[in-house]
Amino acid sequence: MQVAVLASGSKGNATFIEMEGVKLLVDAGISTRRIKQELSNLGVDIADLDGIFITHEHIDHVKGLATLSKKYRIALYSRPETFRAMSCYREIPIECLNPIKDRVTLGRISVRAFDISHDAVNPVGYVIQGSSRCVVATDTGYISKGMQAMLEGAQVMVLEANHDVDMLKMGPYPRSLQLRILGRQGHLSNEITAQTLAKLKNRPKKVFLAHLSEQNNSPEVAMDTVKSILAQEGIEDIELFMTSPNQCVSTTY
């Protein structure tokens, strides 16, 4: 299994996953040109993608989708409500749209959508399951019991660590926006992310800390906070990777 976070953050999100010979993107929130270049750097031809799975309709997750689908006719998967809510919906070739409710099988892997909590119409995370298991869960305000169950058993995980609570409260955002981010349909803090990992019975080997706020977090703060909380729980065997809006970060398992 190869997992590469091509970009992550409020400016755009896209994650490449290859498992059992199947090549997928989760989200396409950066330009088609950049997706093509980042995949080429990984030795992957963009035309060989087997599918693109969209978590929700916000622009930082679908920015490159219209151009990508029109040029390469790649199959797109998401909840039907998400497709209809996307600003680019009418630009996408209808034959590319594949509405899903729960899961889809591609080759020797299955991709399961599960509910998350964000201020979008029907947002999801994804479990990619073959001989290995990868979970992508970003843009969620809290971790429900159902979500926690979906995280169990993943060897590799892309998990949101959006903000430091103190930096957010003391930062430039108006109170209304602070409350949105802190709310149950907002984003996960570094602390909640670390606590979520610590609660897992079958913890991942590798975790990408994703969707960091540029105003209310920093790579150093996020990494230090998560490492510190995990160390307090006696957990030192999870390899952490810091994602970036401008640089691809990749690992294999």
Tell whether 47 is covered by a domain.
Answer: yes
Tell whether 221 is covered by a domain.
Answer: yes
Alpha-carbon gap, residue 82 to 240, rounded angstroms? 31
Confidence of residue 194 (pLDDT cuts 50, 70, 90): very high
3-state secondary structure of 50: coil
Tell whether 227 is covered by a domain.
Answer: yes
What pLDDT sits at residue 70? 96
106-140: per-residue pLDDT in tens?
999 999 999 999 999 999 999 999 999 999 999 99
Tell whether 252 is covered by a domain.
Answer: no
200-253: per-residue pLDDT in tens?
999 999 999 999 999 999 999 999 999 999 999 999 999 999 999 999 999 999
Listed in sequence order, the DSSP H helices in 163-214 are: 165-170, 175-182, 190-199
Residue 188: give the domain boundaries.
Answer: 2-247
Confidence of residue 174 (pLDDT cuts 50, 70, 90): very high
Residue-wise burial string across 61-94, b where 16 or more C-beta atoms lie within 10 A, e elsewhere: bbbbbbbbbeebebbbbbbeebbebbebeeebee
13-50: per-residue pLDDT in tens?
999 999 999 999 999 999 999 999 999 999 999 999 99
Is residue 35 within a helix (H) or strand (E), and if so which, with residue range? helix 32-41
Distances (CA, A) of 136 to 21, 25, 45, 93, 173: 19, 11, 22, 26, 27
What pLDDT sits at residue 212? 97
Tell whether 253 is covered by a domain.
Answer: no
Tell whether 215 is covered by a domain.
Answer: yes
Token match 């003391």: residue? 170
Distances (CA, A) of 150 to 67, 77, 115: 32, 19, 10
What pLDDT sits at residue 172? 94
What pLDDT sits at residue 25? 98
Instruction: Kindly give, in sequence order, each residue whose CB lies less than 8 Å from that of residue 4, ignoring residues fewer than 6 positions away.
Output: 15, 16, 17, 38, 42, 248, 249, 250, 251
Q: Which amino acid makes up residue 144?
A: S
How many domains does the chain contain in total? 1
Query: How many C-beta atoms surround the C-beta of residue 214 within 10 A?
Result: 10
- CA-CA-CA-CA dihedral for 232, 236, 239, 240, to nearest 10: 10
What pLDDT sits at residue 201? 96
What pLDDT sits at residue 86? 97
Give the strands of the sheet with 109-115, arranged side by side: 103-106, 109-115, 124-129, 133-137, 156-160, 206-210, 239-242
Mean pLDDT (the chain) is 97
Taking the whole predicted model, whether its pTM rises above 0.75 is answered as yes
CA nearest 63: which of 23, 6, 104? Answer: 6
The CATH number of the domain holding residue 24 is 3.60.15.10
Tell whether 113 is covered by a domain.
Answer: yes
What pLDDT sits at residue 224? 98
Tell whether 209 is covered by a domain.
Answer: yes
Residues 195 and 235 sit within 8 Å (Cβ to Cβ): no
Alpha-carbon gap, residue 251 to 253, rounded angstroms? 7
69-112: per-residue pLDDT in tens?
999 999 999 999 999 999 999 999 999 999 999 999 999 999 99
Residues 66 and 73 sit within 8 Å (Cβ to Cβ): no
